[in-house]
Structure 1
Amino acid sequence: MTCNSGWHTPVSAGHPAEALLRRDAVRSRCRMVMARSLAGLSPFFTWDEKALPACAEYVAQTIRLNYPDLAVPYHSRWRHFEAGGVDRWGALAARTGLDGDALERARVAIDLVIPSVLLDAGAGPEWHYRDAAGGQRLARSEGLGVASLALFAGGALSADPAKPLRCDADALAGLGSDTLAAAFQVGPANPLVGLDGRLALLQRLGAVMAATPAVFGTPARAGHLLDYLLARAPDGRIAAGLVLETLLRALGPVWPGRLRLQGVSLGDCWAHPAMEDGLLPFHKLTQWLTYSLLEPLEWAGLTVTGLDELTGLPEYRNGGLLLDFALIRPRDPAFWSHRWTVDAPAIVEWRALTVIGLDRIAEAVRGELGLDEAAFPLARVLEGGTWSAGRRVAAQRRPGGGPPISLVSDGTVF
């Protein structure tokens, strides 16, 4: 993909960052880390293939518990909007008349899901959200999702009071901490990890959107991403990899304090000694956003192809599952008690092993379920699935269901 005018940070053909902002960069580089671990060369971990069958059986059991008919939806933010069995998005769309215009409904869905996904890093064990409409007390990802939907539905992300269901660059740039804290019900007795980081991320999103009219139009609106993608799908089909690469280039400058290469932010990409150039990308939140765009794009009439070009998401639920089942075994017992930052080489390696481990688990799970890759792509294995199994085993093993290791979060990675 060649980026010319109309982009905040163009990435031209031949730029050294181009190889790290591609659909195949995550899996191919993570395979190198796995190969090193399998060869016994990792100073941090060993991989125990003998533990795979028990883990796959547990994941398959979790899928059957969650979806007895095996009709598993995509792993996406939309599942969190349905927390507790309440279809909040459907109710909003019906109440506001969106169901009568498929394209505008899809634009509004994108307006909602882009900022919502960016807000979906670990909330911490003490935070919760009380959903008055559903009468529920929600924590972690479900709470964050429902809170972000309420923030959006209230018009806080729109620059036009007459059109509240939008995500406009001008509104994001002017978003205040009081507004965000109130929407997420944050207070001394209900602290949210990384609130300031989340606010800065949304404000930065507004600045980047405004500086990227090629994708977000003028005035800049998140939902205009749909029009950009429709123009690149003349036959009604679009590759998931193209969606991801568009987001990596359009939203890459949003991420704060990350590695840069000749002026280009590399996003969720970290230093690791196994790489010849020392760089290992994951693009976790951007891939999570790509998964979360599948449904809005389908509502707009597009067919998204090549889903398994995307990878599993290396975060603490999926990665915790592999640690809890001892597929990934730390060499140093102190690993369990240390408080880790996201850029620590051991954490970077854990995430890389998680990416490839999820591919291996997915293949074994399909065998358990008697399904092939076409019928049960990775996006369904994750949802059914490894993410749910990671949460389930965490709840069985630790009070509060936290991850097996301690992570320092600024609200933009985990």
Structure 2
Amino acid sequence: MSDFSLARPDLSPAVAWLRTPSAIRERCHQLLDLGLAGKLEHFRVEPSRLPIVVDTVLHVTREHYPTLDVPLHSRWRHFDVGGVARLAELEARLKDASLQERARAKLDLVVVSVLLDAGSGPQWRYQEAGGKTWARSEGLAVASFRMFMEGRFSSDPDRPLRVDAEALGRLTREALAQGMQVTDANPVDGLEGRLHLLHGLAKVLPRPGALLDIITAQQRSVRAAELLGLVLEVLGPIWPGRVMVDAVNLGDVWPHPALGSVESLEALVPFHKLSQWLTYSLVEPLSEAGVVVTELDGLTGLPEYRNGGLLVDLGVLSPREPRLFTQSFHPGDEPIVEWRALTVALLDRVAALVRGRLGLSAEELPLGKVLQGGTWTAGRRVAAERRPGGGPPIRVDSDGTVF
């Protein structure tokens, strides 16, 4: 894999463009413009409610980060949930490894953890040995961390802190369920989908940490959009049953009829949520290995139910039909595509307003930090205040592979 190029001239222009944050923004803002004009079928957009969102985001940001030293939104924020120093435990186990091998191990961990991170559903819990019970994204983080620390993703008993294709390829549904404590009484949404992603990962990389070698074989600095392109190219084949263009599986890309015929390229709205979540999460281990990721604000906000739920709960997005609150939808259903697209576009507006209130530039407070400060945290808090269990206002059936 070391001869992999970050530029892929063999890709068709359409596919190459749909893999860019620019494409995500363009298509999402097209739908926002239609929403502002009252021309969308499923949601009304109430921009007058944005100041309430900004006030809420600023409140939780200042509460959690009084000095405004906000870290980047990434999977790494979840591993130490509850004030447990799990990452210090990882560092201690890796203390004798080289700088490069420590980075590879951390990349191994975070790639697998992100691929296991699609919505867990409302019932699943993870009981940490000698500790607390965790749910949703934090629970998935702790579960994947403990599985990694136990060597469940390594085929070499003498080198447990790694992820390799052999171990992933032979991972069974029963073994994954055991590691995640999934039972009939403790079900997780999309267990088979998560297993499919890990099996797919085994086919495309010898180990996730090889991403470090792919990048450093080319350069020591990479733009965030370019890093996302690499993630989408390498992991593209693992996504199940998605839209194909020019024989390429597009992944988290879905049509919306307001933009054109659903069979046309013009109707396709790219999101690449898990891939962007992963890209944000690669920044820190790559940085530790001396690889600088630049232009972080080039990535978009993440179209998942915490950010999108905040906009619905605080009235910026108002469903036109009561069924949106009572039915459960699939990721490709038109209302969900619409909700996600509006979320991405509105997060750009929220970020600009937050920066304006704080007097900070995009370089000082990139979108990834606004999410962390931020919209994701505020979305969770408002959801907990409004609904038992803190679930999203609109329910999406998770197959474990989207968000």
The count of residues paired between Structure 1 and Structure 2 equals 396
Query: Are the aligned partners of 2:3 and 2:217 in contact in 1 as well (CA < 8 Å)?
Result: no
Structure 1: how far apart are the matches of 2:318 and 2:9? Answer: 38
Q: Which consecutive unaligned segments of at least 5 residues does structure 1 have?
A: 210-219
The corresponding residue for 2:118 is 121
Whether 1:28 and 2:26 are equivalent positions in the alignment is yes
Query: Are the aligned partners of 2:108 and 2:209 in contact in 1 as well (CA < 8 Å)?
Result: yes
The corresponding residue for 2:98 is 101
Structure 2: how far apart are the matches of 1:230 and 1:16? Answer: 28
Q: What's the TM-score, normalizing by structure 2?
A: 0.94
Partner residue of 2:212 out of 226, 234, 246: 226
Amino acid at match of 1:103: Q
Higher mean C-alpha deviation, range 354-363 or range 123-132: 123-132
Q: Secondary structure at the match of 1:367?
A: helix
Partner residue of 2:143 out of 141, 147, 151: 147
Partner residue of 2:204 out of 204, 208, 215: 208
What's the Cα RMSD here?
1.8
The corresponding residue for 2:259 is 275
**Residue deviations 1:344-373 (CA, integer Å, cap 9, x gap):** 111101100000111111111122333222
The corresponding residue for 2:316 is 327
The corresponding residue for 1:41 is 39
Q: Secondary structure at the match of 1:17?
A: helix
Q: In the superposition, relative to structure 1, how do residues 5 and 71 fare at CA in structure 2: closer, same or farther (>3 Å)?
A: closer
Q: In the superposition, relative to structure 1, how do residues 399 and 226 fare at CA in structure 2: closer, same or farther (>3 Å)?
A: same
Amino acid at match of 1:126: Q
Query: Are the aligned partners of 2:297 and 2:363 in contact in 1 as well (CA < 8 Å)?
Result: no
Structure 1: how far apart are the matches of 2:252 and 2:61? Answer: 29
Amino acid at match of 2:137: S
The corresponding residue for 1:299 is 288
Deviation at residue 125 of structure 1 after TM alignment: 1.4
Structure 1: how far apart are the matches of 2:349 and 2:104? Answer: 36
Amino acid at match of 1:225: L
Q: Secondary structure at the match of 2:44?
A: strand
The corresponding residue for 2:87 is 89
Whether 1:136 and 2:145 are equivalent positions in the alignment is no
Structure 1: how far apart are the matches of 2:364 and 2:325? Answer: 38
Amino acid at match of 2:180: F
Amino acid at match of 1:75: H
Amino acid at match of 2:277: W
Structure 2: how far apart are the matches of 1:246 and 1:148? Answer: 24
Q: Secondary structure at the match of 1:111?
A: helix
Deviation at residue 124 of structure 1 after TM alignment: 1.3
Q: Which consecutive unaligned segments of at least 5 residues does structure 2 have?
A: none
The corresponding residue for 1:194 is 190
Higher mean C-alpha deviation, range 274-283 or range 77-86: 274-283
Structure 2: how far apart are the matches of 1:391 and 1:312? Answer: 16
Higher mean C-alpha deviation, range 169-178 or range 272-281: 272-281
Whether 1:112 and 2:101 are equivalent positions in the alignment is no
Deviation at residue 232 of structure 1 after TM alignment: 2.5
Please give the residue correspondences for 1:394-405 in structure 2 after superposition, counting only pairs within 5 Å: 394-405=383-394
Partner residue of 2:245 out of 261, 267, 289: 261
Amino acid at match of 2:243: L
Structure 1: how far apart are the matches of 2:2 and 2:91? Answer: 36
Whether 1:355 and 2:344 are equivalent positions in the alignment is yes
Q: Secondary structure at the match of 1:148?
A: helix
Query: Are the aligned partners of 2:120 and 2:398 in contact in 1 as well (CA < 8 Å)?
Result: no
Query: Are the aligned partners of 1:57 and 1:368 in contact in 2 as well (CA < 8 Å)?
Result: no
Query: Are the aligned partners of 1:394 and 1:403 in contact in 2 as well (CA < 8 Å)?
Result: yes
Higher mean C-alpha deviation, range 292-301 or range 334-343: 334-343
Structure 2: how far apart are the matches of 1:408 and 1:33? Answer: 23
Q: What's the TM-score, normalizing by structure 1?
A: 0.92
Any runs of at least 4 consecutive aligned residues in structure 1 with deviations exceeding 4 A, and if so which? 3-7
Partner residue of 2:169 out of 163, 170, 173: 173
